[in-house]
Amino acid sequence: MKILITGKNGQLGQQLQKQAPSDIIVIAHGRETLNIADKEQVFAVLKEEKPDTVINAAAYTAVDKAESDADQANAINAQGPENLALACRELGIRLIHVSTDFVFNGKQSHPYQPQDQRQPLGVYGESKARGEEAVEAILPQAIIVRTAWVYDREGGNFVNTMLRLMNEREQLGVVADQIGTPTWAGTLAQALFALAKNPEAKGIYHCTDAGAASWYDFAVAIFEEGKAAGLLPQEKQVQIKPIATSDYPTPATRPHYSVLDKTRLVTETGLEQTHWRQVLRKVLTQ
């Protein structure tokens, strides 16, 4: 199987390249060789590469910046998936598109199902919802995989930001009233390959690690596991204070609750669910 990956330089793109099974040929493109917002380029590259499947890991993920940069967010998150879907339909290529928990408003208190109604709160979520809708309308047999709170060993993510701040400071305030699930990019990569290998898979799936946490819970775990892994000095003490969303205003409104139900993914792929804290421990130890 030949799989073309977009967004090769991002956290997910990197993990997809690292974790590719031996029976899959991976062709990875970054924005410099495949800008998904450029329709002509999308068609040209897919015609030349002739993949069996495209995994769209390219995304505009700067949630707060999107509020003042809507054109760029929509170009990558809405127009980009539409271009890929049109090209895949014409060329007979399968499409797996990666989306986000931000397509929901976060007002319910039980895990979101794949079929739940999209109600995004801001520009980033709206752009991702539009991308999903375009893929569904153009290519009904496509796969959409929503994820949340993604981190990896490298990159600008919550884990690396917290480790840096914990090394620098004695006190941190972290939001405690937003609930979701931390997800290692490697977990998501494994799920995407499992779906790519399943010819029956189509429609929307959810993929995160197991369990739920607030950003405050996540930060406390990063401190404890970071110390255990030797990434923070043993004598280092940091007071981590739980704060409310209202105490830390941001340009974009975030969903208060965005835990995703993974039942369909687990049932159809047989992938094991591991609690987010165990996964975090493994990643920090490595």
| pLDDT at position 86 | 98
What pLDDT, in 10s, does the model give residues 53-76? 999 999 999 999 999 999 999 999
60, 112, 124, 257: the active-site residue: 124
| pLDDT at position 248 | 87
Q: What is the pTM of this model?
A: 0.96
- Determine the Cα–Cα distance for residues 28 and 21; give it in Å rounded to an integer: 14
- Determine the Cα–Cα distance for residues 286 and 276; give it in Å rounded to an integer: 15
| pLDDT at position 155 | 86
Q: Is 124 a catalytic residue?
A: yes
| pLDDT at position 183 | 98
SS3 call for 248? coil
- Determine the Cα–Cα distance for residues 196 and 54; give it in Å rounded to an integer: 9
| pLDDT at position 276 | 98
| pLDDT at position 251 | 93
Q: Which residue stretches of the chain have pLDDT < 50?
A: none
| Distance (Å) of CA 68 to CA 63, 81, 122, 123, 203 | 10, 21, 11, 9, 32
**Beta 2-6 vs 53-56: how paired, if at all?**
parallel
Long-range residue pairs from 243-249, CB within 8 A, at least 24 positions apart, any chain = 243/173, 243/174, 243/175, 243/176, 243/216, 244/175, 244/176, 244/177, 245/175, 245/177, 245/178, 247/173, 247/175, 248/173, 248/175
Q: Locate 30 and state its tokens.
A: 């970054």
